[in-house]
Amino acid sequence: MAVPPQLKAIQHHLRTAQEHEQRDPVVAYYCRLYAMQTGMKLDSKTPECRKFLVKLMDQLESMKDDLADNESISQEVVGNAHIENYALKMFLYADNEDRAGRFHKNMIKSFYSASLLLEVLSVFGELSEENIQHRKYARWKATYIHNCLKNGETPQAGPMGMDQDGEAGGPPPSQSHMDQDQGQDPAPGIGFTAGPGSGPEGPPTTTNYNNIHIPPGAHAPANTPAEVLPPAAAVKPVPLPRSVPTVDPTLLVAQQQGGVQLSPEDFTKAQKFCKYAGSALQYEDVSTAIQNLQKALKLLTTGKE
């Protein structure tokens, strides 16, 4: 069923969901959930939009039933960790390719898909400032590199520097190029259309992207889009060193301190920390796993976070 023009802003989230139908149903589910919630805000009154959103709602209910045993669906905190880890791994893959000067459609798509998935995190609550910056940077990089390649120009690799006036050191994507791209699909799953949450964004001129925080780990998830592969002669990226936090030795023999009374909320929080750790391990994110396990142990032994 075609997306009504009034709901054009969610079409790329729905396309991302379709692409992940088999490879990662959890990603597909939350992309559709985001699309439905956003679509309801955009237009839920006109007959064609209402019909489209009702069908999408039925699809979500069906998926929820099929994935009832999946903790990423039944437990929001686990789902949040799953989507965030997946988005940041995809971001890191594209960022590694960008910093190495390997520009191709696959990395553009990964940047753009990461920005879409970071938007999807809003179904769990307000985005962190860090994820907002990653989303803006990924969206802008995808647009900038796409426009450069389209015009036969060589993009500037890596984060742009800032000049004394606070402007990005490289040319931002021009609006005329974006307008020309509307209605086109320069790479599978990528489009630059106007609309809330879907249009390209220039980088905030007050942000120094040289200092952007990159999450632990240095490889993309196994299902990173691969419609267009990098040139065969490209040099493999050098993995970034993992920053594994030091384990508190007192936690290795942790025992509950006397007089500590744990509330039901404390047990729920400890469970969440453990689930976050389990989800992080699925993506080989050792640092995040250790941090969350330490938080759980501290809470259980002292009653304090």
Classify residue 279 as exposed, middle or buried by CB count within 10 Å of its CB (0-12, 13-18, 19+): buried
Residue 288: per-residue pLDDT: 79
Give the residue carrying structure tokens 């032994």.
301
Phi, psi of 234 (to 5 degrees): -65, 145
CATH of region 87-159: 1.25.40.270
**Residues 6+ positions from 133 with CB-CB distance below 8 Å:** 207, 212
Asked if pLDDT for residue 163 goes beyond 60, the answer is: no
Q: Residues 173-200: pLDDT tens digits?
A: 333 333 333 333 333 334 433 233 333 3
The CATH architecture annotation of domain 264-302 reads Up-down Bundle (1.20)
245: pLDDT confidence band, cut at 50, 70 and 90?
low
292: pLDDT confidence band, cut at 50, 70 and 90?
confident
For residue 201, give the nearest of 96, 85, 112 by alpha carbon: 112
Report the C-alpha gap between 215 and 197 in whole angstroms: 23
**Residues 6+ positions from 255 with CB-CB distance below 8 Å:** 301
Q: Residues 132-154: pLDDT tens digits?
A: 999 999 999 999 999 999 999 99
Determine the 3-state secondary structure of 168 from DSSP: strand
Fold match, 87-159 / 264-302 = no
**How confident is the model over 59-66, as a mean pLDDT?**
94
Output the DSSP codes for 88-149. Answer: HHHHHHHHHHHHTT---HHHHHHHHHHHHHHHHGGGGSSPPHHHHHHHHHHHHHHHHHHHHH
Contact 105, 142 (CB under 8 A): no
Please state the domain extents for the chain.
1-74, 87-159, 264-302
Q: Residues 77-110: pLDDT tens digits?
A: 999 999 999 999 999 999 999 999 999 999 999 9
Residue 136 structure tokens: 């803006």
Give the residue carrying structure tokens 């079409």.
11
Domain 1-74 class? mainly alpha
Distances (CA, A) of 42 to 119, 126, 166, 272: 16, 19, 35, 33
